[in-house]
Chain A
């Protein structure tokens, strides 16, 4: 329970007016607890991403919001009203399904109009709304086609138009990009963000792709084993993960185990076997023991050839470790190096290629010094 409370207090509250409150929701499948006393607040107009490895319970949570699963415990409040027991067809919530679930026997027009007809809107209004939706997703002229006659990207847009047509209070998107190729995915991500801002609607997206989540979402909730591990903005998630698991799950990272040796002046010294003594900024959250780990993002490490003196610009206390280059991967925008430190640790460092003819590149087996500032070191419980 203390664990729970600590996480709750850390979670970043939504910016807008509260729309959805998930309150200690539980869902079990036989022996497995897919969603475990999960609580979450979503604000109006927010773009929220549920991120997590497969089987973490994110889809189950989304399906409970859509009404396709009934919670075994807890409440789901939409605008303050408990909707846990309300069947899907009576919820002001719509879902975009993973494989779109377009009705194969209906045309694009009839797919989009399906929800409007069920709502009993007058015919003229249905016509107008369908036309509006077709324009919104740039599918004018396609209304007579059947889903089989569309490309993957077009199908995705029909699914989106169909889900948006009823103007739901909340739109749920279950891995909406999973079936698209990379190029199309990037365009669609930007398009979704534009739509969400234009309509001022609240989106909850489920994804296992952290880049996708970081690119689109205002806030991200990272799930593991049925629980929210951290709810934060993309930047906080990356730069201030609240646990080793999050640090490792989101982005690349170097992690070195060690023990706190001394503290003082906003700094702490961690003695590690694999990288010697590391100076780090004292973390904001309390550590439970002195057995800790130090985590450094690869792009926070600067490399210089081993012979050179430390940069004049480096602040006092900058960590400087020597080693040899053990691997080089050129990726265009950046180059990734692996450095085997003399103490034994294998560090990943990425260097942005900011000029066309680089001032300094490093070759295999070259001796280098890896430097990183104490403020860039995150000290986390092991």
Chain B
């Protein structure tokens, strides 16, 4: 008992650290964004009204609160431009996450079946791209995909196409960029769960008459689902808000929500609408997180 008390106080303090971090670098800034999203745009510095001024007294503050409105959110809901932008982001994220899963699972599975001494090397190979700046890697894709780029050169040399294909500013280019950039985030959690599966379970399945394929579907896949969930979330969430890759590689016809946000903020100087976009995006992204969390909790409860 005394030993428990000995560790309790510092442990409790340490547990505060993540909350403090969240408060300082997430909740507080989010409060500012939420406040701005409820304001109106004006040509001024700062470019929105009302502004809280504590020096102006309580009545002024009350008036400022009364001036807050949901107009920006009404605009987002009524204007097809924004709705389509959100929709496109979610669709792009869903499609890319599916492609990432289809490519990442076999790679992670292969890694987990490598001899033990090769596995760390394979892991380093997956991480190596991070040693180069993300932006440079995306720009490199422009080089590869452009009219007289390497991809067209190769396709022409192989006589697969007779004339250069237009890659840049298409969805195909965007998906190539997204899948390339996010693949490690899919592979690593998948590999971690696949490598943890006890080989004796696969032997037990074989012993009980399960062929290799049956064993894969009935043992390996169900046991790797936590990794699938983690990898899918790690890819889906940032891709929904992705700005750089669609901006550099995709066409400008239908922007993703990140691009729309950029447009409102920097081109239209409409901070309140840009903030409203950010708030809605956050709420949208909370949904898959909450679902994942609930599924995990149910699994934990199931084991108890």
Contact = CB atoms under 8 A, between A and B. Distances in A.
Interface of A: 66-68, 87-90, 93-95, 97-99, 101-105, 114-115, 118-119, 146, 148-149, 162-163, 166
Contacts of A163: 207
Given A87-B206, A88-B203, A146-B302, A105 B198 contact: no
Nearest to B208: A115
A359 B205 CA distance: 60
A292 B210 CA distance: 54
A68 B203 contact: yes
A89 B200 contact: no
A87 B204 CA distance: 13
A358 B135 CA distance: 90
16 contacts: A66-B203, A66-B207, A68-B203, A68-B206, A88-B207, A89-B208, A89-B210, A101-B200, A101-B203, A103-B219, A114-B218, A115-B208, A118-B208, A162-B204, A166-B208, A166-B209
B254 interface: no
Contacts of B222: 105
Interface in B153-195: none
Interface in B266-304: 302-304
Contact of A97 (B203, B211, B218, B223): B203
A306 B204 CA distance: 62
B201 A103 contact: yes
B214 interface: yes
Contacts of A119: 209
Contact of A89 (B209, B218, B223): B209
B4 to A, nearest CB: 26
A89 B206 contact: yes
Nearest to A94: B207
A162 B209 CA distance: 12
B68 to A, nearest CB: 50
Most buried by B among A67, A93, A114, A119: A114
A101 B208 contact: no
Contact of A118 (B198, B214, B223, B304): B214
Cβ-closest 5 pairs across A and B:
A115-B208, A118-B209, A101-B204, A101-B200, A88-B206
Given A104-B223, A146-B303, A115 B209 contact: yes
Contact of A149 (B203, B218, B223, B304): B304
A334 B79 CA distance: 93
Residue among B206, B210, B214, B304 facing the most chain A CB atoms (10 A cut-off): B206
B203 A114 contact: no
Contacts of B303: 104, 146, 148-149
Interface in B82-127: none
A193 to B, nearest CB: 23
Contacts of A98: 200
A133 to B, nearest CB: 13
Contact of B200 (A87, A88, A99, A118): A99
Contacts of B209: 89-90, 115, 118-119, 166
Nearest to B198: A101
A176 to B, nearest CB: 14
A95 B210 contact: no
A64 to B, nearest CB: 13
A149 B210 CA distance: 25
Contacts of B207: 66-68, 88-89, 93-95, 97, 115, 163
